[in-house]
Structure 1
Amino acid sequence: MKKIGFLSFGHWTPSPHSQVRTASDALLQSIDLAVAAEELGADGAYFRVHHFARQLASPFPLLAAIGARTSRIEIGTGVIDMRYENPLYFAEDAGAADLISEGRLQLGISRGSPEQVVDGWRYFGYGPGEGETEADMARRHTEVLLDVLKGEGFAQPSPRPMFANPPGLLRLEPHSEGLRDRIWWGAASNGTARWAAGLGMNLMSSTLKEDESGQPFHVQQADQIREFRAAWAEAGHAHAPRVSVSRSLFPLVTDEDRAYFGTGRDESDQVGQIDNMRAIFGRTYAAEPDALVEQLREDEAIAEADTLLLTVPNQLGVDYNAHVLESVLTHVAPALGWR
């Protein structure tokens, strides 16, 4: 069995060719797609976070709204850029959204990706400390977040509080028990995957990673997952970790599918530079269901992961994306033993 969800980048554009033309469209359609995914039997609704862009940006109002409209599906992010985050406000917002969803949040966080503006986190009031890089700053924010999510008191109460306090040091409220174990790190390298394992975060591996060996993308990603699990075991955490991978995956079952994705596009991995890192980008899978199943049998990283996130073309609208999810759940997942 494998959990299967979707990952939306939440793009919107005023183009007449887009079904998502405003920020309101992006938000409301994200809620509708999560509801549709739950009705179809999918397991997760995940959303990318980007600042200064015509994409989804502030995740917690959206996650809370989805939590109030659904009852079973996991709700998450993939990923929140911790360079931009105040970890204490993050913990409060996440705690509230998790309580609304009754403990269904699965929050992916990371050092982040290239943004729309230069050093955008500075406009949010953050900057690396002396001797720090921006990646160090993101990891520092993360370690503070993980600490306060434990729910332990750390703040000295006022001797003249507005309301009566419980005894001892105060923690952040609202606290949602168990959320600390549902934080995922979006790792681009094997090293950061091992670091995440040491801190007890789950692993979220995307459609790109640092090209560390020159091998095919899915082989490098599978190696990353194995190194993560080995580091987790070495750290001695009491619970088992989770691992997700993301894929662009389209069964061609209708003429509309073939018009959008059956165009003979390049189906090989791509290599390029991103943030001064040589990165390898995974291929898009688009084929008739039987051929797609055979292609996916060869993907080592999907085999290693317990969760598969399908990147969806959200600008094609809710109905089409629900169709893509249904096609995977109906034509692909059973044949591969995922359902």
Structure 2
Amino acid sequence: MKKIGFLSFGHWSGAPYSATRSASDVLLQSIDLAIAAEELGADGAYFRVHHFARQLASPFPLLAAVGARTKRIEIGTGVIDMRYENPFYMAEDAGAADLISRGRLQLGISRGSPEQVIEGWRHFGYAPAEGESDADMGRRHGEVLLDLLRGEGFAQPNPRPMFPNPPGLLRLEPHSEGLRRRIWWGSASNATALWAAQKGMNLQSSTLKADEGGEAFHVQQARQIRLYRQAWKEAGHDWEPRVSVSRSIFALMNDQDRDYFGRGDDSDQTGVIDNMRAVFGRSYAAEPERLIEQLRLDEAIAEADTILLTVPNQLGVDNNAHVLESILNHVAPALGWR
């Protein structure tokens, strides 16, 4: 059994083909798609975060809205770039969103990916400390967030407060019990996967990875997951982690599906991203019977307990719901995911 959710990058544009012409369109349709996904039986609604781009950026208003309009589906991110984040403010926002959803928040965070502007995090008021890289800063912000989510008091109370304080040091509020175990780290390398395991975070492994062996993407990603699980065991955590992989998977059910998705590249790609040689995972697009055969060979999917299906959000809610329904009903059962 695997949990199956969708991952939306939240693009919008004025192009004639786009069903999302504005930020308002993307936000409102994201809520509608989460509702539709829940009705279809999907397990998760996840959203990407990119700054300075015509994509979803500020996640917590959207997560809170989705949480208020749904009852069962997990809501999450994949991922929030911690170079841009104040972990104190973020702990309050995350606690509120989790309480609104009644404990369904699955918060994916990371060092982040290449952005639209040069050192965009500086515009948000953040800069690496002396001797730090921006990646180090992102991990440091992540560690502070983890500490805050434990809910332990750390701030000295005012002896003459406006409102009465509970005894002892004060913590940030609202605090959501259990959220600390629902933090995920988005990892593109074996080293950061090991670090995430040591810190007690679940693992999100995306559709790209540092090329650390030359093998096919899914083979390298499966190795990363196995290394992560071993490191988790060695760290001695007293709970079982979760691992997700993201995939572009399209079942070709009709002529429209074939027009939209049938001409994609079905092989891995390599490139350089942030001075790192990376391998980008292939897309899967085929009739259900053939698609099932292909997915059985994906070693990383076999290792993961959660699959995030990247959706082409600019095609609109109905088309994306059809993409999800096709996988949930015509592919997942044959693979034992359901």
Superposition TM-score tier, normalisation by shorter sequence: over 0.9
Count of aligned pairs: 338
Which amino acid in the other structure matches residue 184 of structure 1? Answer: W
Which residue pairs with 1:323 in the alignment? 322
Which residue pairs with 1:23 in the alignment? 23
Instruction: Name the CA distance, whole Å, in 1 between partners of 2:142 and 2:334.
Output: 39
Instruction: Name the CA distance, whole Å, in 2 between partners of 1:22 and 1:170.
Output: 41
Which residue pairs with 1:125 in the alignment? 125
Which amino acid in the other structure matches residue 333 of structure 2? Answer: P
**TM-score under structure 2 length normalisation:** 1.00
| C-alpha displacement of 1:14 | 1.3
Secondary structure of the equivalent of 1:45?
strand
Secondary structure of the equivalent of 1:75?
strand
Kindly report which structure 2 residues correspond to 1:1-339, keeping only aligned pairs within 5 A, or say none: 1-263=1-263, 265-339=264-338
Aligned-residue RMSD, C-alpha: 0.4
| C-alpha displacement of 1:158 | 0.4
Q: Deviations over 1:28-67 (max 9, x none)?
A: 0000000000000000000000000000000000000000
Q: Deviations over 1:86-140 (max 9, x none)?
A: 0000000000000000000000000000000000000000000000000000011
| C-alpha displacement of 1:15 | 1.5
Structure 1: unaligned runs, 5 residues or longer: none
Secondary structure of the equivalent of 1:184?
strand
| C-alpha displacement of 1:266 | 2.2
Instruction: Name the CA distance, whole Å, in 2 between partners of 1:321 and 1:45.
Output: 12
Which amino acid in the other structure matches residue 154 of structure 2? Answer: F
Instruction: Name the CA distance, whole Å, in 2 between partners of 1:22 and 1:43.
Output: 27
Instruction: Name the CA distance, whole Å, in 2 between partners of 1:232 and 1:145.
Output: 20
| C-alpha displacement of 1:250 | 0.1
Which amino acid in the other structure matches residue 307 of structure 2? Answer: L
Percent identity of the aligned residues?
80
Instruction: Name the CA distance, whole Å, in 1 between partners of 2:157 and 2:236.
Output: 35
Instruction: Name the CA distance, whole Å, in 2 between partners of 1:219 and 1:262.
Output: 24
Instruction: Name the CA distance, whole Å, in 1 between partners of 2:5 and 2:321.
Output: 11
| C-alpha displacement of 1:16 | 1.9
Secondary structure of the equivalent of 2:231?
helix
Instruction: Name the CA distance, whole Å, in 2 between partners of 1:299 and 1:17.
Output: 32
Which runs of structure 1 show a deviation greater than 6 angstroms over 4 or more consecutive aligned residues?
none
Structure 2: unaligned runs, 5 residues or longer: none
Q: Deviations over 1:211-253 (max 9, x none)?
A: 0000000000000000000000000000000000000000000
Which amino acid in the other structure matches residue 228 of structure 2? Answer: F
Instruction: Name the CA distance, whole Å, in 2 between partners of 1:171 and 1:259.
Output: 54
Instruction: Name the CA distance, whole Å, in 2 between partners of 1:313 and 1:255.
Output: 17
Which amino acid in the other structure matches residue 162 of structure 1? Answer: M
Instruction: Name the CA distance, whole Å, in 2 between partners of 1:217 and 1:179.
Output: 31
| C-alpha displacement of 1:303 | 0.3
Instruction: Name the CA distance, whole Å, in 2 between partners of 1:40 and 1:254.
Output: 19
Instruction: Name the CA distance, whole Å, in 1 between partners of 2:112 and 2:262.
Output: 32
Which amino acid in the other structure matches residue 82 of structure 1? Answer: M
Secondary structure of the equivalent of 1:39?
helix
Secondary structure of the equivalent of 2:248?
strand
Secondary structure of the equivalent of 1:60?
helix
Secondary structure of the equivalent of 2:71?
coil
